[in-house]
Structures are given as C-alpha cells and as structure tokens.
Structure 1
Amino acid sequence: MAYLFRQATADDLAQIWEILKKAIQRRKEDGSNQWQDGYPNPTVIQSDIAKGAGYVLADGDHIAGYCAIMINDEPAYADIDGKWLTEGDFVVYHRVAIAEDYLGKGLAQKMLAHIEDFALSNKINSLKVDTNFDNNGMLNILNKMGYVYCGEVSFRGAPRKAFEKVLTT
C-alpha cells in the first residue's frame, strides 16, 4: 500500500482531530495521564497547520496518521535534565497519532521514517522527541528505530522522557 506523507491542510482538520480524539481515549484506557489535560485540541492542530508544521500520512482520501514537525522549535529542550547527543539544528516532532483503522500496521514507524527524510532534506541530522513515561507503544517504537534516551524534559509541569536520534547521511 502506497501512503503519501504530506503537509496537512485546513481540509484535513476534522479527520486529524478524530484521529487524535481516539488516540487520547486509547491513552486513557491504557491508564496513562498523557494527553488527558485538554491537550492536544483542535486549536493546537489549527496552529500546526497554519504554521506549516502539520503533516499527515494519507491513504487516498483517508488520513492514516498525523504528526507535527518543527525545526529548532522546542524551548523546553534547552532545559534537559541529562544531555543531548548533539548541539545545533534539530528536527522535533509532536502529536504522533495513527487512525484507529490503521493501528498495528507499522505506520507510526513509517511516519517516523518520513520524518527522518524530512530532516535530511533540510540538511539536519538530529531528531529529538519526548514522550510520557507510560507511553509504552511510543517507547517501543523509539527503541526499535534507534533513538537514544538522553534524560528528562518538562512539559506543562510534567516530566517526559527525551530521546534523540542522530542520522547518518
């Protein structure tokens, strides 16, 4: 199956929000407190799209996954309890979510591979990301994809595990 990784548009907002609502519910059912505080929400997604940071993995007219990708745009990462592998430019991504109908097909890993391509196309070889301590799905994916645990960062008053992957060109 050929998926298209592309920038999200305003027309995608309803599908993206549906994906995130279900992901928020799954996190809750998993007993996690991640995404249980009103974030993310449609305003955040609208802002991602307006800034050109929202990206989707599309299967024809259906959106299979969503994430936000930014370059050097994560102030919380300056204050890490630990140490990043690299200094300098980095790509950061947030709000990774896969649509319910597409779960279990390895699409989160496929999306992360597209993010690696995005970084390299922008001549950046550092990917940084954080996740909740109890987000086992994401922790497993980061481990499988060669990310290195670098320490803790804090978001909205809560500690998060921070990871980096250095890409070779």
Structure 2
Amino acid sequence: MNQENLNFRKGSEKDIPEIWKILQQSIERRKNDGSKQWQDGYPNISTVESDIEKGYNYILTLDDKIIATAALIFNDEPTYDVIDGAWMTHEDFLVVHRVGVSNEVAGKGFATKFFQIFEDFAKKNEVFSIKVDTNFDNLAMLKILEKLGYSYCGEIQVRDGARKAFEKILR
C-alpha cells in the first residue's frame, strides 16, 4: 500500500460509523489475541461520539478511506495524576487513547506510522512529551511502544485495574 496517500485529520460526526467499525474490529482482535483489554463494553459508540464532540478524535486515511483512529488529548488525564512509579516529565503532554486500526491494514505498520504522526502533531503544538497506557497483555501495543522508544514509567489505575504507563520525550 502506498503510504503517500495517507492523511491525518480530526474526525467528524460523519466519520462516527467507520470509526466505531474500526474500534469494534480492534476490540475483537484484542479478544482473539487473548487480551482482557477492551472486553468490558468500553470503548463504545458513546465514547466515539464524546471524542468527536470534544474534538479528541483523529483519524488516518489511506486513499480517503479511514484506516485508523485515536483520541489525542492535551494535558488532561486524571488517571495519570497517580502513578506507581514516576513520569519522566511534568510539563505539557499529549495523551494517546483508544487507538484502533482497521482489519484491512492490521499488521502492516500503520499503527506504528500513526504513532509517528502523533509525535509530529505534538511537536507542531509545542508539546514534547507523549504519555500512553496499555494493558499488560496487549502485546501488539507493547511492541509498538518498545519499537518507538517509549519508556516504561510504572502503573496507573483505570476503571478495571492496572495499566502499564509509558512516556516518550520528543526533544
């Protein structure tokens, strides 16, 4: 697939059905991988609608077809206030949540590319830290974070238990 036809943009109301379809595919992939992450009714369609409404949702398109989705939030993640460990920085940061990739492109490097785009997006907004968390058994995400040089900072607590927390400094 030709990555020259990639476009990163904010999601809109008209994108909700496709975003939700991609997240459902990602939920099913987590289940098939044996992960417990996203197996409790979250995220759901209301989550997607809320992300769009708040301006958090961003998508990646290939030839104008949505292939990936994520919530990108600046400086606002209350669950990150308490960490069993330590964040590397205490400056402005970009939080990455709810990353989903369509089955059509899963395993082809687009999630990694999406994260590289997040890094550029943060820097363009003069933010030089990205924070992200994932379940202990989400091996696909753990592999991406390791490959891209994210540092393990400790554990945070979310609605259904502990998550591994990571940070990458972009300077």
Q: With the length of structure 2 as denominator, give the TM-score of the two structures.
A: 0.96
Looking at structure 2, the residues matched to 87 and 27 of structure 1 have their Cα atoms a distance apart, in angstroms, of: 31
Task: Provide the residue aligned with 2:103 in structure 1.
Answer: 100
Q: 1:4 aligns with which of 2, 7, 10?
A: 7
Task: Provide the residue aligned with 2:68 in structure 1.
Answer: 65
The superposition leaves residues 18-62 of structure 1 with CA deviations (integer Å, 9 ceiling, x where unpaired) of 111111011111111100111000110111111111000011331
> Quick one: which amino acid aligns to residue 52 of structure 1?
G
Task: Provide the residue aligned with 2:80 in structure 1.
Answer: 77
Measure how far apart 1:157 and its partner are: 3.5
Q: With the length of structure 1 as denominator, give the TM-score of the two structures.
A: 0.97
Q: 2:52 aligns with which of 49, 54, 65?
A: 49
Query: Residue 4 of structure 1 aligns to a residue in which SS?
Result: strand
> Quick one: which amino acid aligns to residue 86 of structure 2?
K
Task: Provide the residue aligned with 1:22 in structure 2.
Answer: 25
Looking at structure 1, the residues matched to 167 and 93 of structure 2 have their Cα atoms a distance apart, in angstroms, of: 9
Q: 1:116 aligns with which of 107, 115, 119?
A: 119
Looking at structure 2, the residues matched to 157 and 43 of structure 1 have their Cα atoms a distance apart, in angstroms, of: 18
The superposition leaves residues 45-86 of structure 1 with CA deviations (integer Å, 9 ceiling, x where unpaired) of 111111111000011331110000000110000100000000
Query: Residue 80 of structure 2 aligns to a residue in which SS?
Result: helix
Looking at structure 1, the residues matched to 14 and 135 of structure 2 have their Cα atoms a distance apart, in angstroms, of: 30
Looking at structure 1, the residues matched to 95 and 66 of structure 2 have their Cα atoms a distance apart, in angstroms, of: 21
Q: 1:165 aligns with which of 160, 164, 168?
A: 168
Unaligned 5+ segments in structure 2 are none
Looking at structure 2, the residues matched to 63 and 157 of structure 1 have their Cα atoms a distance apart, in angstroms, of: 29
> Quick one: which amino acid aligns to residue 58 of structure 1?
T
Looking at structure 1, the residues matched to 143 and 34 of structure 2 have their Cα atoms a distance apart, in angstroms, of: 17
Task: Provide the residue aligned with 2:36 in structure 1.
Answer: 33
Unaligned 5+ segments in structure 1 are none
Kindly report structure 1 stretches of 4+ aligned residues shifted beyond 3 Å. Answer: none
> Quick one: which amino acid aligns to residue 88 of structure 2?
L
